[in-house]
């Protein structure tokens, strides 16, 4: 049986989520006025209320999208198209969805982009120094998808609000953390169901009441005009169930994952691995490890042959031959960045999975080190 430890790329579907989605796989269009359409509409609105309860926001502040990437584009492009201000602040370890959107805004909307560095610990600290009078928005990734490091979101949000600046948070990897948008001082937040043991093709954008965005998509005016297009009813229902499970079980699940991560990292260190940002605030589901002198892609492929699936970093950048921008941002040399892999766990990960991964890792490292010498 395969050992899947690439949950940061996507998580397996929780059976409870699948059961919740099942009745809606053949649902009618939620915009139809007949009984079947209204049944689908009620399912979408019920999901919206469930999600709002966990985000501690109003239901009409939650807008459903096709995933994290669309939500990020909607937040950043929408905000700048609605404003005359032309300065954006992001960090050096943002997901490509933010980096590429920022580049688009720079080229096509005349937006100046300041990329704030992070320390070797993977934590940003110089946000306030980058603020200008024309700064409209600060965008920060809550949990980095390669390192697992947790940014001080509430503090950054407070700085943003002290300067009357909008604050966007990419929370796609933060499903087990507190997501109270009020106490975290968040104006715009993105989430992705597929990182929560939910379905692919479902995301959301929280947009605080009063924040002006120009919609990306125009058409039938769904999602209160914010995102036109027929709603993906089963995915939305599944998203709400996935978030409900994640947030309701977060204390217990965090402790369970922490125990598994500890076992994993102790094993990796015993095999010569160096855990990146080990002393920083991190989620227990993501481990970045460097095996100096071992080519990461070869390691990954040989591990895959043994039925253990991990990643070299972000799944959105796996076709790139360049070292990870995240690893370079924390001061890692390119040669070491190319010797770094990511193990990421989910609710489906078991102790047996960790044992299997460590055994396979030991075998593969022995093979590769023999070839090197």
The DSSP symbol for 220 reads: S
Phi, psi of 85 (to 5 degrees): -70, 145
Closest CA to 296 of 327, 330, 251, 253: 327
Angle (nearest 5°) at CA 172 between 326 and 74: 95
- Catalytic-residue membership of 316: yes
Closest CA to 326 of 341, 342, 315, 313: 313
Using alpha carbons, list the distances in angstroms from residue 191 to 106, 133, 180, 255: 24, 29, 13, 22
Angle (nearest 5°) at CA 281 between 280 and 286: 95
Judge whether 188 and 75 are in contact, CB under 8 Å: yes
Q: Which two tokens stand for residue 94?
A: 């943002």
Using alpha carbons, list the distances in angstroms from residue 106 to 89, 138, 198, 330: 12, 15, 34, 24
Judge whether 51 and 62 are in contact, CB under 8 Å: yes
Closest CA to 67 of 268, 207, 242, 201: 201
Burial of 271 per CB tally in 10 Å (0-12, 13-18, 19+): middle
Judge whether 137 and 102 are in contact, CB under 8 Å: no
Which is catalytic among the residues 57, 172, 277, 316? 316
Active-site residue set = 316
């Amino acid at each position: 049986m395969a050992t899947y430890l690439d949950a940061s790329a996507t998580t397996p579907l929780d059976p409870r989520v699948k059961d919740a989605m099942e009745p809606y796989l053949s649902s009618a269009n939620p915009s139809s006025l007949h009984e079947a359409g209204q049944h689908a509409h009620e399912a979408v609105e019920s999901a919206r209320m469930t999600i709002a309860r966990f985000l501690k926001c109003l239901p009409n502040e939650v807008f459903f999208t096709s995933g994290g990437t669309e939500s990020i584009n909607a937040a950043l492009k929408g905000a700048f198209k609605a404003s005359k201000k032309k300065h954006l602040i992001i960090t050096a370890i943002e997901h490509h969805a933010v980096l590429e959107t920022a580049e688009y805004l720079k080229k096509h909307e005349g937006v100046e982009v300041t990329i704030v560095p992070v320390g070797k610990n993977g934590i940003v600290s110089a946000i306030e120094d980058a603020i200008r009078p024309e700064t409209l928005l600060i965008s920060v990734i809550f949990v980095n998808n390669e390192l697992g490091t947790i940014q001080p979101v509430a503090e950054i949000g407070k700085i943003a609000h002290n300067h009357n600046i909008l604050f966007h948070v990419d929370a796609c990897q933060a499903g087990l953390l507190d997501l109270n948008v009020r106490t975290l001082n968040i104006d715009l937040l993105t989430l992705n169901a597929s990182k929560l043991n939910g379905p692919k093709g479902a995301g959301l954008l929280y947009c605080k009441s009063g924040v002006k965005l120009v919609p990306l998509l125009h058409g039938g005016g769904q999602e209160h005009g914010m995102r036109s297009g027929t709603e993906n009813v089963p995915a939305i229902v599944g998203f709400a169930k996935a978030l409900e499970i994640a947030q309701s079980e977060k204390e217990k699940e965090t402790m369970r994952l922490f125990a598994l991560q500890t076992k994993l990292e102790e094993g990796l260190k015993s095999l010569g691995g160096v855990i990146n940002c080990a002393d920083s605030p991190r989620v227990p589901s993501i481990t970045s490890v460097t095996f100096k002198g071992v080519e990461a892609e070869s390691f990954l492929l040989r591990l895959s042959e043994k039925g253990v699936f991990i990643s070299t970093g972000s799944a959105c950048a796996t076709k790139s031959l360049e070292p990870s921008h995240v690893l370079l941002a924390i001061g890692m040399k390119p040669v070491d960045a190319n010797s770094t892999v990511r193990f990421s766990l989910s609710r489906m990960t078991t102790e047996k999975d960790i044992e299997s991964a460590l055994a396979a890792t030991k075998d593969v490292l022995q093979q590769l080190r023999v070839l090197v010498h």
